[in-house]
């Protein structure tokens, strides 16, 4: 599989998991379910545009790299005691497995997408031929 295809697939999975995770945060009461949550719509659109329409271009790699690195904040915040592990307030609820599973996948896919972006940027020609 080509690296650009892998990057597209991992980025789409990462976007879907990030949105599912935000929905879980609202459902479990970690985030208030208000109009501020709609900020995810333009963010996801820019991320999708960079992933799908700008694939293989420098701007697409940069957009995807920034959002991939930003997605690493999600597992880090939750690993510091907000919903992660046995000591959390939702440790014995029915949705805790998918909550933790999505956090781990967000971390894994965020790092992998960032690596693929750096690799893609590295392989691009940096000077215009004239």
The vertex-98 CA angle with 95 and 99, nearest 5°, equals 80
Can you give the pLDDT at residue 80?
Answer: 80
Please report the sign of the dihedral spanned by the C-alpha atoms of residue 97, residue 78, residue 87, residue 25.
negative
Domain ranges for the chain, please list them: 3-123
Q: How many residues does the chain have?
A: 130
Rounded to whole angstroms, the Cα distance separating 25 from 94 reads: 14
- Digitized pLDDT (tens) for each residue of the chain, 130 residues in all: 888 899 999 999 999 999 999 998 888 888 888 898 899 999 999 999 999 999 999 999 999 999 999 999 999 888 886 666 655 666 667 777 888 889 999 999 999 999 999 999 999 887 665 5
| pLDDT at 59 (0 to 100) | 96
Alpha helices in 28-88 (DSSP H): 40-48, 58-71, 73-79
Q: Are 120 and 4 in contact (CB under 8 A)?
A: yes
The tokens for 32 are 């208030």
Model pTM score = 0.85
| pLDDT at residue 63, as a whole number | 97
Long-range contacts of 27-31 (CB under 8 A, 24+ apart): 27/95, 28/83, 28/90, 28/93, 28/95, 28/99, 30/82, 30/83
According to the model, what pLDDT value does residue 125 have?
85
């Amino acid at each position: 599989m080509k690296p650009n295809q892998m990057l597209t697939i991992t980025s789409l999975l990462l976007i879907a998991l990030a949105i599912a995770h935000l929905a879980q945060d609202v459902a479990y009461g970690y985030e208030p379910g208000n109009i501020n949550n709609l900020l995810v719509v333009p963010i996801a659109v820019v991320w999708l545009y960079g992933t799908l329409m700008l694939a293989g271009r420098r701007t697409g790699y940069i957009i995807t790299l920034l959002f991939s690195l930003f997605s690493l904040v999600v597992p880090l915040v939750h690993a510091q005691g907000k919903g992660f592990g046995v000591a959390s307030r939702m440790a014995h609820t029915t949705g805790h497995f998918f909550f933790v599973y999505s956090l781990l996948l967000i971390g894994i896919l965020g790092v992998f997408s960032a690596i693929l972006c750096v690799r893609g940027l590295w392989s691009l020609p940096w000077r215009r031929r004239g």
